[in-house]
Amino acid sequence: MNLARLAAEAEDHGRPVRAGLIGAGKFGSMFLAQVPTIRGLSVAAIADLDPDRARSACRAVGWDEERIDATVILDDGSALAGRDDVDVVIEATGSPRAGIAHARAAIAAGKHVVMVNVEADVLVGPKLAREAAAAGVVYSMAYGDQPALVAEMVDWARAAGFSVAAAGKGTKYLPAYHQVTPEGVWAHYGLTPEEARRAGMNPQMFNSFLDGTKSAIEMVAIANACGLRVPSGGLGFPPCGVDDLAMVLRPRELGGQLQGRGMVETISSLERDGRPVYRDLRWGVYVVLEATNDYAAACFRQYGLKVDDTGRFAAMYKPFHLIGLELSVSVLSAALRREATGSARMMRGTVAAVAKRALKEGEMLDGEGGYTVWGKALPLDEARDALPIGLAHRVKLLRNIAEGAVLGLADVSLGEDTVAELYRAEVAAAGR
């Protein structure tokens, strides 16, 4: 409740929080747009593979040339992580391997890390969090993105004494979307390929939002941070509006659609026949609470919460998320409170690569949002040997794979892959 005051006081004392941003894409640009109006926060450096793109991003969000000239802009994220004028490193590249390398470099240099890169977090987030703790720095989810917002809601519910039945987000989903490729993605967004190209939109990235991969990544990140369970067999994506959260997202034994209590789940803004869900939560996040006593359950009704027919389940939700526009909350919290806005704690699940079509031996996989595979959230115990989507990029298949089959680590040639070894070690540690 006092983060803005702490930041202003830091500026008054001549010690503003100095951020370094790695990756000047959409998320990073949204953060940059807010920085000039936040007392006590500055951006000392920006790293992007294309420094000119970073400068263009700064201009596009309204930075004047004086501010741009005062900011170090370079093409090496690891070099940024080691700079003495950076307190908090924001990793926003979207590349799992790059994200892990940048985070470890930052931690080794004594910098706090805000991990926008959820793809990296679901691979080895618990290890990065342990390394940060050992170094006396913070490793944090990125506020504004759904995983951190859900983690906040789960923490609020538990701190208030409620049991968490379910937590997650909304999205636009139909089962057929799992097979969509970048070639056909724009029709689902109401755009022509030319319109998307002019807007600088990456078809593979946007396809990962549509084909279920991004939802899987975010739900596993939430499970790993909050100690929640990933549904056996994968997310169900039940159609559900905000008024029905407490009825739908409760255990099956009570008439709901959950396998049990304490689950992550993504709800769909579309009915299975394509009709829009009434009062959908496409852009938002939610937590479903269970009252732990009769008195609390009675209070749910007395204070206007939508409850299920038992009266013991109720839901809280936020109908939007503003991604990078809210990212400064994580940056300031790490530097001024030394507190993460959510952080990976344990491997509860993984995001397994699933064949979009029949794949042949010798083919190269193209990773998240591509033509070959999509990502499916699975409990770790069901998928210890599965190939995670974060490792399914630019690797060669060693055998034929049927459409819809989960790929295994042994089905691809990983060679000498440090990130794969880190992932295997985390999976092994989670089994002990």
- C-alpha–C-alpha distance, residues 363 and 372, integer Å: 9
Asked, for residue 404, whether it belongs to a domain, the answer is yes
- C-alpha–C-alpha distance, residues 430 and 380, integer Å: 8
Asked, for residue 196, whether it belongs to a domain, the answer is no
Exposure b/e, 367-392, CB count within 10 A at least 16 = b: bbbbbbbbbbbbbbebbbebbbbbbb
Average pLDDT over residues 172-179: 96
- Do 356 and 426 share a domain, yes or no? yes
- C-alpha–C-alpha distance, residues 277 and 287, integer Å: 19
- C-alpha–C-alpha distance, residues 335 and 349, integer Å: 30
Tokens representing 268? 């769909």
Residue 1 confidence (pLDDT) above 90: no
Residue 100 confidence (pLDDT) above 90: yes
CATH of the domain at 357: 3.90.1210.10
Q: pLDDT tens digits, residue range 2-13?
A: 999 999 999 999
Average pLDDT over residues 117-126: 97
pLDDT score, position 275: 97
Are β-strands 373-379 and 349-355 bridged in parallel, bridged antiparallel, or unpaired? Answer: antiparallel
Q: CA angle, 167 as apex, 114 and 301 as ends, to 5°?
A: 130
- Do 106 and 128 share a domain, yes or no? yes
- Do 122 and 154 share a domain, yes or no? no
- Do 162 and 96 share a domain, yes or no? no
Is 0.85 surpassed by the pTM of this model? Answer: yes
Tokens representing 391? 């490792």
- Do 360 and 402 share a domain, yes or no? yes
- Do 163 and 245 share a domain, yes or no? yes
DSSP one-letter string for 16-44? -EEEEEE--SHHHHHHHHHGGGSTTEEEE
- Do 268 and 399 share a domain, yes or no? no
Residue 407 confidence (pLDDT) above 70: yes
Is the Cβ–Cβ distance between 342 and 140 less than 8 Å?
Answer: yes
pLDDT band of residue 209 (cuts 50, 70, 90) is: very high
pLDDT band of residue 432 (cuts 50, 70, 90) is: low
**Total domain count, the chain:** 3
Average pLDDT over residues 167-193: 94
Average pLDDT over residues 40-59: 96
- Do 331 and 397 share a domain, yes or no? no
Q: Which residues contact 104 (CB under 8 A, 6 or more apart)?
A: 128, 131
pLDDT score, position 388: 98
DSSP one-letter string for 255-267? TSSBSSSSEEEEE
CATH of the domain at 38: 3.40.50.720
Give burial (CB, 10 Å; 0-12/13-18/19+) of 40: buried
Interaxial angle between packed helices 96-108 and 418-430, expressed in degrees from 0 to 180 and rounded to the nearest 10: 80
Residue 28 confidence (pLDDT) above 80: yes
Angular region, 394: left φ>0, alpha ψ -120 to 50, beta rest: left
Asked, for residue 290, whether it belongs to a domain, the answer is yes
Residue 199 confidence (pLDDT) above 80: no
- Do 237 and 269 share a domain, yes or no? yes
Asked, for residue 78, whether it belongs to a domain, the answer is yes
Tokens representing 68? 């741009």
- Do 44 and 87 share a domain, yes or no? yes
Residue 131 confidence (pLDDT) above 70: yes
pLDDT score, position 197: 81
- C-alpha–C-alpha distance, residues 104 and 261, integer Å: 35
Q: pLDDT tens digits, residue range 271-307?
A: 999 999 999 999 999 999 999 999 999 999 999 999 9
Residue 200 confidence (pLDDT) above 80: no
- Do 270 and 383 share a domain, yes or no? no
Beta bridge partners of 396: 364, 413
Q: Of all residues in the chain, what percent carry a pLDDT higher than 90? A: 94
Asked, for residue 202, whether it belongs to a domain, the answer is no
Average pLDDT over residues 147-153: 98
Angular region, 289: left φ>0, alpha ψ -120 to 50, beta rest: beta
Asked, for residue 383, whether it belongs to a domain, the answer is yes
- C-alpha–C-alpha distance, residues 225 and 214, integer Å: 17
Q: pLDDT tens digits, residue range 65-89?
A: 999 999 999 999 999 999 999 999 9
Distances (CA, A) of 343 to 109, 154, 212, 285, 388: 20, 13, 23, 17, 20
The rounded mean pLDDT for the chain is 96
Average pLDDT over residues 237-258: 97
Helix H or strand E segment including 168 = strand 163-171
- Do 130 and 156 share a domain, yes or no? no
**Structural domain harbouring 241:** 147-173+212-320
Asked, for residue 191, whether it belongs to a domain, the answer is no
Residue 341 confidence (pLDDT) above 90: yes
Asked, for residue 294, whether it belongs to a domain, the answer is yes
- C-alpha–C-alpha distance, residues 349 and 288, integer Å: 20
